């Protein structure tokens, strides 16, 4: 657990430094996510940290707390916070990341297997999964800001974690094997057969594409066509 929490702390530090340097005009500018400004991305990251903090607090207290009250509530909160003053957004992100770090440190060893609801009655995940979930949010959405930090800046350890996590998705439009040219090993996406294509490229480019971002720039498929990837 210490390794991934250390990686999360380092990734969070990089994100905070980027957000600290944003001008009002940059906050208002378009992010890499359709319909979202950079302010929306920062708002989402702050609220995501707050939701995880509240859920972990419930794990520690023994009073189960969902991460979000509902999907609609989550979406509305992002819209509202994205419209706040940039100083408010910046402070909200910084405070939320500090609170989340404290919440992670407070979870006792025996409680890491406790399941948390994303929304009441919705999908669940274990407290143990939280650092990895948050790391994906931080690294991917940092790149979504569309500034100097891009997927090419992702650490190798994160690229490996991202590939391993993405191939566990429940379904794929068509099975294939992801074969990063800069990492050892391959990752099977779906029920791969001898006829399934092999998609090759840098691990960061594969991870970016597997989350439904970009058009597969830098990737090749041995059958000439990249499989269709649904939005993450």
* Strand-pair category, 176-180 with 198-201: parallel
pLDDT tens-place string over residues 113-157: 999 999 999 999 999 999 999 999 999 999 999 999 999 999 999
How many domains does the chain contain in total? 2
| CATH number assigned to the domain comprising residue 112 | 1.20.120.450
φ/ψ of 189, rounded to 5, equals -105, 105
pLDDT tens-place string over residues 181-205: 999 999 999 889 999 999 999 999 9
Among 104, 126, 149, the domain-final residue is 149
Percentage of the chain exceeding pLDDT 70: 98
Contact criterion met (CB below 8 Å) for 7 and 135: yes
Among 149, 171, 187, the domain-final residue is 149
Domain that includes residue 135, residue range: 2-149
The whole-angstrom separation of Cα 103 and Cα 98 is 9
Please tell me whether residues 9 and 119 are part of one structural domain.
yes
Mean pLDDT of 44-72: 97
């Amino acid at each position: 657990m210490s390794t991934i929490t250390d990686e999360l702390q380092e990734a969070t530090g990089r994100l905070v430094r980027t957000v600290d340097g944003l001008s009002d005009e940059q906050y208002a500018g378009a992010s890499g996510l359709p319909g979202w400004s950079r302010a929306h991305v920062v708002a989402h990251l702050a609220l995501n940290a707050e939701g995880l903090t509240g859920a972990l607090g419930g794990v520690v207290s023994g009073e189960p707390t969902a991460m979000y009250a509902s999907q609609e509530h989550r979406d509305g909160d992002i819209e509202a916070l994205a419209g706040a003053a940039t100083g408010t957004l910046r402070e909200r992100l910084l405070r939320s990341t500090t609170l989340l770090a404290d919440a992670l440190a407070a979870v006792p060893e025996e409680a890491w297997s406790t399941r948390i609801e994303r929304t009441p009655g919705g999908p669940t995940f274990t407290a143990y999964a939280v650092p990895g979930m948050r790391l994906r949010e931080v690294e991917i959405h940092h790149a979504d800001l569309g500034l100097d930090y891009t997927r090419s800046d992702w650490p190798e350890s994160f690229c490996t974690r991202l590939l391993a996590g993405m191939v566990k998705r429940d379904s794929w439009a068509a099975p294939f094997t992801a074969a990063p040219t800069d990492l050892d090993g391959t990752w099977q996406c779906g029920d791969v057969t001898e006829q399934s294509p092999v998609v090759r490229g840098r691990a960061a480019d594969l991870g970016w594409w597997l989350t439904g971002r970009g058009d597969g720039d830098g990737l090749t498929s041995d059958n000439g066509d990249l499989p269709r990837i649904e939005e993450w």
